[in-house]
Amino acid sequence: MKHFLTIADYTKDEILEIINLAIKIKKETKIGVFRDYMPKKTLAMIFEKSSTRTRVSFETGIYQLGGTGIFLNSNDIHMGDGEPISDTAQVISSMVDMVMIRNDSQAQLELFAQNSAVPVINGLTEKFHPVQLMADYLTIVELGLDKNLKVAYIGDGNNMASSWVMLASVLGFELCVATPSGYEVDENIKQMSAKLIAKSGAKITYTDDPQIALKHSTVVTTDTWVSMGQEKQKAQRQKDFAGFTVDTHMMTKAHSTAVFLHCLPAYRGYEVSAEVFEANKKVIYQEAENRLHAQKGIMVYLSRAKV
């Protein structure tokens, strides 16, 4: 069974095929053409971790493809709490055509997928956020920045940073990740990346100096310093991330035509200044909308995949 658990599971050609499919479906959507790519198909959306954009984009996406979505939150389903995940996966997958899971456990996601009779999509875990990266890269392609691409990721070495590492490793572009000491990208992710880089030729570097990462970058990106569930760490994180706010001065270190991307929600004055956000908000909102179109591309691809 073909799943979408991490970008590392896909080849460059497969990623680009999904992006091209998303572009095609988006163009159709924009002129009011809604083809039944997935007629009468049902998507189970399991949310153990809430999200505005993930729910709206998946629920709207499956509807526009001719199917329907079933929203299941932590009160509706308790994966691994009482009933084994393997039982939950086998039962749910016998009733639906695809499953999206958003939770805090990559291990649980993978266990569910191992026992699922239908494709499973990673809507976010503590390790990866691959659907967001597909939306980000779709935006980069639309802006014509995919040639000679150099991305600077500034901030927490979290699931977004890891996903950027995976995308660069597969597609072969240049990426520099700048994180404060103690917040680096997980070593296991770096090892996974090294195996992919040997094939793609990507150039990925790590530093604790944002100025180094920004040099010649054509895309600058970041993520919140305080993710859901880390609220008690807020004061300490603010202190630890001092000097990592992407502000107007910092953007001058990037290429003169560089754009700023943010997966949202964005906290002005923390990971990004209000000025930088406002200057790039058109692209950021384009990026946010592209969650819908990228995920439609993923769902259609998986519905057609033969393994």
Q: CA separation (Å) from 71 to 58, 102, 129, 139, 226?
A: 10, 11, 19, 27, 26
| Cβ atoms 135, 19 nearer than 8 A | no
Determine how β-strand 120-124 pairs with β-strand 203-207. unpaired
- Catalytic residues, by residue number, are 102, 129, 132, 223, 263, 291
C-alpha dist (Å) from residue 60 to 75, 136, 141 = 22, 19, 23
Residue 269: closest CA among 239, 253, 246: 246
**CB-based contact 99:62 (threshold 8 Å):** no
Instruction: Give the contacts of 303 (CB within 8 A, at least 6 positions apart).
Output: 37, 38, 41, 97, 98, 119
Report DSSP state, residue 233: G
- Name the strand (E) or helix (H) holding 48: none
Beta strand 68-73 with 259-262 is unpaired
Write out the DSSP string of 2-15.
--BS-GGGS-HHHH
Q: Are 71 and 60 in contact (CB under 8 A)?
A: no
